[in-house]
A and B are shown apart, each in its own frame.
Chain A
Amino acid sequence: MPTRTIDGYCLGIESTADDFSVGIVTFKGEILANVISAYMPPEGGIHPREAARHHAEVANKVLEEAFQKAGIKRKDLKVIAFSQGPGLGPCLRTGATVARALASYLGIPLVGVNHCVAHIEIGKLKTNTVDPVTLYVSGGNTIVAAFDSGRYRVFGETLDIALGNCLDVFAREAGLRQKPGEPFGAVVEKLAKGGRRLIPLPYAVKGMDMSFSGLLTAAVNLLKKGERLEDLCYSLQETAFSMVTEVTERALSHTEKKEVLLTGGVAANKRLQEMVKTIAEEHDAKFCVLPSQFAIDNGAMIAWTGVLAFTHGVVTPIHESFVRLRWRLEEVEVPWVK
């Protein structure tokens, strides 16, 4: 078993959903490359098989670009990390296959990384936080988590669809168009600025958990009844963001931690940032939000978490490197956090 290695390079592969990304980091936490290739469905949502096909097609190109950017060679790598879950099966398997192939070819260890842990770890690295309450909101996840006794505990999460998914589906139902590289959330955010009236929508906080499916259905129904699109975008944002902010505030108040980290694709939304910042200030906590390239799914976060795991003796033998579609955050021990 490898023990503490002081220096080296780790390559991380991220492929849980629509992004295929490769990151290369040093063991000290310098990010040398973080190349992301997003799959854009011609219409509708992400089809797992089509996204996986995209990943397979771009894998080689993305890898090449990452090595070029990092200015290192394959043989310089000490360890390969990959996102082992949670996520879409076909997408995860594509990334895992590339990772296994590389590791076997180079004869170096493999580390399977939990995608949600990676979001938190890169967040801590890039914002210099130590022990934050994390609000992770994306198209696939809506989680409020904080560290306690060896693991990241989930304090609150969605009971059905993710917040980002709620915004995406609403945007598609409204027939909105996105420019290449522009997420639907950004389109909704722009329209919401023209909102004048708050339309009552189901506000579903259940204990520490949230539900967005009823909110989505109600918003779509009101749209069909002819409510003004800008007002709906505004109301949808206000309601959904208030829900996640309320839960984050409760976690903050419960754990009494002094840092709040906002990450995930939806973290780019300025209104959400403003709301979370407000509660952080009220609780004398530092508010941190990640720049988009590290907030969305990215390879650097996998690579960095791979470094943390590897330098603490965690490796994943090939025969245990099967993907875990529903791998929960709190199942993962994080011995590198004290």
Chain B
Amino acid sequence: MGEISQPRLIKKGAEACLYLADWHGRKVIMKQRLPKKYRAPALDEQIRIYRTIHEPQLMHEAKKAGVPTPTIYLVDAKNATVIMEYIEGEQVKQLLAKVSENTRQKLCFNIGKLIGKLHKNGIIHGDLTTSNMIQTPEGKIFFVDFGLGEKTKELETRGVDLHLMKRALQSTHFQFVEKCFDAIIEGYASVLEASEVKNVLDKIREIEKRGRYITERRGE
């Protein structure tokens, strides 16, 4: 990995640090999961290595499913570091707030379509927020940060994934949650079977109703 030059910290996230760097003449992102002092060392290592290995695998699968993701160049599990393609573009988080309603609806429809493709292929993103989506100048939407993702077709997990998307909209784009989420579901439904969509929507409602104050956990 000695070929990395001029790494510049561009984001100190809670989970990892992102560096913009030059690698063999390419502009790359180096994602490094630094040890967390608050976690017990054994648990910390377990979490960081797991996510470092898992994330590139999922990103690769996502690409195969037709969802643009940065190309992975190098995985260094021991140092919990991944080197990947740098995507030039703008975060959907910023875009949503400034585009016209019409464009916003289209954008959300496309996002829903991409989520649908992921789910159809058994991929769960695990952290669907608008800051994890980047639109390139050509209008392609890239999904990044699969660190909390998993491979499953379980209805529950799909429901949680979409529920998270909705929650992310609620916390950062509360002005237009409903319309955006409806458009996402429309896009989602254009990829998956109607019956599957219905099941997921029922699941989301169930998840929303769940939550706190459950007094009977099991027949105690």
A interface list, Cβ under 8 A from B: 44-46, 48, 86-88, 140-142, 148-149, 153-155, 157-162, 169, 198, 200, 203, 205-209, 213, 238-239, 242, 245-246, 249-250, 252-254, 274-276, 278-279, 282, 325-326, 330
Contact = CB atoms under 8 A, between A and B. Distances in A.
Nearest to B13: A253
Given A198-B43, A238-B40, A330-B170, A44 B220 contact: yes
Contacts of A213: 217
B220 A207 contact: no
A46 B215 contact: yes
Nearest to A253: B14
Interface in B163-207: 164, 167-168, 170-171, 174, 207
19 contacts: A44-B220, A45-B220, A88-B213, A148-B171, A158-B211, A159-B207, A159-B211, A162-B212, A198-B42, A207-B167, A208-B129, A208-B168, A208-B171, A238-B39, A242-B36, A252-B14, A279-B14, A279-B38, A326-B213
A208 B40 contact: no
B154 interface: no
B141 interface: no
Most buried by B among A46, A159, A200, A275: A159
B78 interface: no
A155 B171 CA distance: 6
- Interface of B, secondary structure class, is loop
A275 B214 contact: no
A205 B148 contact: yes
A279 B13 CA distance: 12
B128 interface: yes
Contacts, number: 107
Contact of B160 (A157, A159, A279): A159
Nearest first, the 9 A-B pairs at minimum CB distance are: A207-B164, A250-B14, A275-B38, A249-B14, A278-B38, A253-B14, A198-B42, A207-B127, A238-B40
Contact of A161 (B160, B214, B220): B214
- Interface of A, secondary structure class, is mixed
B148 A206 contact: yes
Contacts of B160: 159, 206-207, 209
A208 B214 contact: no
B167 A208 contact: yes
Interface string B45-64: 01100000000000000000
B12 interface: yes
A161 B129 CA distance: 24
Nearest to B129: A207
Given A159-B207, A206-B160, A279-B38, A48 B14 contact: no
Nearest to B147: A205
Given A206-B148, A246-B14, 10 more contacts: A45-B215, A86-B213, A153-B170, A153-B174, A154-B167, A154-B170, A154-B171, A207-B160, A238-B39, A254-B14
B210 interface: yes
Contacts of B212: 86, 140-142, 158, 161-162, 326
Contacts of B220: 44-45
A207 B168 contact: yes
A276 B38 CA distance: 8
Contacts of A155: 171
Nearest to B131: A254
A189 to B, nearest CB: 15
A177 to B, nearest CB: 18
B220 to A, nearest CB: 7
A66 B98 CA distance: 53
A160 B174 contact: no
B43 A203 contact: yes
A278 B214 contact: no
B78 to A, nearest CB: 20
A88 B217 CA distance: 15
Contacts of B168: 207-208
A105 to B, nearest CB: 31
A282 B14 CA distance: 10
B13 to A, nearest CB: 6
A140 B40 CA distance: 26
Most buried by A among B15, B37, B40, B160: B40
Given A207-B128, A207-B148, A207-B167, A200 B215 contact: no
B116 interface: no
B38 A161 contact: no
B38 A242 contact: yes
A238 B38 CA distance: 9
